[in-house]
């Protein structure tokens, strides 16, 4: 998500695209605009990702506390979800986390403190959305 001088992009494009993540053999990196544009795109991306993580957390809570499912059963559901329209890196790693057991054989996720901090990008996204009159109910 690089931004900056459009004249500089051709000089660094190959380096950035060779080191970027790939999707279907194509780099997930391209020039997004002038100075500050890359930071803005990353902020919006993070805001969307935080919304996805909130939904995953709520789905886990409903399946765990609402339906009383065990982590291995929830992992099976996430495995199924990851084969359809919900296929994503976050669904995949959530499944893997739910399958991971501690040394005592119990799911490690049940031993993790239910707390999270923030670095600021979610707050920036929410403030910018308010300034633009756009709802961001999943992270607000």
Residues with catalytic function = 42, 49
Q: How far is CA 82 from CA 4, 23, 85, 106, 137, in A?
A: 36, 16, 7, 24, 24
Q: Is 69 helix (H, G, I), strand (E, B) or coil?
A: coil
Which residues make Cβ contacts (< 8 Å) with residue 77, sequence separation at least 6?
63, 69
Evaluate whether 81 touches 59 at the Cβ level (below 8 Å).
no
CA 7 to chain centre: 31
């Amino acid at each position: 998500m690089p931004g900056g001088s459009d004249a500089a992009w051709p000089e660094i494009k190959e380096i950035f695209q060779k080191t970027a993540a790939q999707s279907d053999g194509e780099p997930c990196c391209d020039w997004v605009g002038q100075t500050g544009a890359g930071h803005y795109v990353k902020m919006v991306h993070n805001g969307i990702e935080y919304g996805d993580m909130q939904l995953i957390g709520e789905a886990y809570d409903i399946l765990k506390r609402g339906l009383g499912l065990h982590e291995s059963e929830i992992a099976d559901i996430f495995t199924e979800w990851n084969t359809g329209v919900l296929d994503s890196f976050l669904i995949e790693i959530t499944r893997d986390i739910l399958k991971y057991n501690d040394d005592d054989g119990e799911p490690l996720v049940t031993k993790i403190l239910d707390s999270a901090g923030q670095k600021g990008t979610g707050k920036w996204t929410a403030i910018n959305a308010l300034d633009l009159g756009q709802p961001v109910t999943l992270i607000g």
